[in-house]
């Protein structure tokens, strides 16, 4: 699946090629139009936000949330081994919320089908 940035760049590249290959536009006007298209492409990519062009955001989020889940599991085991019979609610909430967040990030968006 292509990322939003790649799709945007392809669309603007197609427009640039049409301008370059159009014999009815003089060279000075072509240069102006191509410069304008490139500026619009940069603006469109900025509007995508980091989720549209940076795959590392998801990787970092999954890593941090996974560490929170592991921390909750280790904390639960450690408290149980120390003889604590009632686990703190925050520990359970943190682990549950992290698992839910990971599931939400990894579930495909129905709008992308």
Looking at the chain, the whole-number percentage of residues with pLDDT higher than 70 is 89
> Is-contact 19 34, C-beta < 8 A?
yes
pTM higher than 0.75 for the full model?
no
pLDDT digits (tens, 9 = 90+) for 10-36: 888 889 999 989 999 889 999 999 999
Mapping DSSP to helix (H, G, I), strand (E, B) and coil, where does residue 22 land? Answer: coil
- Residues recorded for the chain: 113
Give me the pLDDT at residue 39, please.
Answer: 92
Q: What's the pLDDT at 46? A: 79
Across 80-91, average pLDDT: 91
Domain ranges of the chain: 4-53, 56-112
Per-residue model confidence (pLDDT) at position 77:
93
């Amino acid at each position: 699946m292509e990322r939003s940035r790649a799709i945007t760049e392809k669309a603007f590249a197609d427009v640039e090629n049409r301008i370059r290959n159009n014999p009815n536009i003089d060279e000075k006007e072509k240069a102006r139009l191509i410069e304008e298209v490139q500026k619009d492409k940069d603006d469109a990519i900025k509007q995508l936000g980091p989720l549209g062009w940076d795959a590392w955001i998801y990787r970092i989020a999954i890593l941090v949330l996974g560490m929170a889940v592991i921390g909750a599991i280790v904390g639960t085991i450690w408290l149980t081994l120390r003889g604590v019979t009632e686990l703190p609610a925050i520990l359970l909430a943190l682990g549950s919320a992290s698992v839910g967040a990971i599931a939400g990030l990894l579930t495909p968006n129905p709008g992308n089908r």
